[in-house]
């Protein structure tokens, strides 16, 4: 496992683009809210510590992970949003529902990003157990919300540089 025994959420602030002029949309799933709220808090903390102004962080909720692509699309249509972070959690159950939700969500988010030519960061945990999700939302493996916020900032900076 790639994260075995490692917290991957540490970053060097001086290596992260200054987000003072960036406007970020965050779409967060209400399903598995105890996990998604931790991911959201990590993302917001990382954005603010990287210079993004609180008033430039816009958060909207959707019912579940499957609705994340449409929520991201709503943000991508807006001219006042530079990038989007999608936050959700899908935990393996007893049926193939997990597979369909993960596939649809992943493909949908990728499609939105490419269609609108805007950075959309993928913070969707697809874990086998609740404990794995806890470990990745502020536990022993860090907080994937932080990692996705930093990735979003990096991609916005790249787009502005190349733009």
Sketch the domain layout of the chain as residue ranges. 21-162
- Residues annotated catalytic, as ranges: 97
Q: Which helix (H) or strand (E) holds 63?
A: none
Q: Please, what is the average pLDDT of the chain?
A: 89
Report, as an integer, the average pLDDT of 71-82.
96
Residue 118: predicted pLDDT: 96
Q: Report the SS3 class of residue 84.
A: strand
Average pLDDT for residues 84-97, to the nearest whole number? 90
Model pLDDT, residue 18: 86
Percent of the chain with pLDDT over 90: 71
Contact (Cβ atoms closer than 8 angstroms) between residue 39 and residue 137: yes
Q: Are 42 and 149 in contact (CB under 8 A)?
A: yes
Q: Any idea which architecture 21-162 has in CATH?
A: 3-Layer(aba) Sandwich (3.40)
Distance CA 100, CA 153 (A): 29
pLDDT for position 8: 46
For residues 107 and 36, give the distance between their C-alpha atoms in angstroms, rounded to a whole number: 20
- State phi, psi for 49 to the nearest 5 degrees: -70, -15
To 10 degrees, what angle do helices 68-77 and 97-116 make?
10
């Amino acid at each position: 496992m790639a994260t075995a025994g490692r917290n991957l959420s540490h970053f060097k602030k001086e290596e992260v683009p200054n987000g003072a002029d960036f406007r970020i949309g965050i779409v967060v799933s209400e399903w598995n809210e105890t996990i998604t709220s931790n991911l959201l808090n990590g993302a917001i903390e990382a954005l603010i510590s990287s210079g993004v102004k609180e008033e430039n962080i816009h958060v909207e909720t959707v019912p579940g992970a499957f609705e994340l692509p449409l929520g991201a699309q709503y943000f991508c249509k807006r001219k006042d949003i530079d990038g989007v972070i999608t936050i959700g959690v899908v935990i393996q159950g007893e049926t193939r529902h997990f597979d369909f939700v993960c596939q649809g969500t992943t493909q949908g988010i990728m499609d939105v990003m490419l269609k609108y030519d805007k950075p959309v960061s993928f913070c969707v945990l697809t874990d086998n157990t609740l404990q794995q999700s806890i470990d990745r939302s502020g536990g022993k493996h860090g907080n994937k919300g932080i990692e996705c916020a930093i990735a979003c900032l990096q991609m916005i900076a790249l787009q502005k540089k190349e733009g």
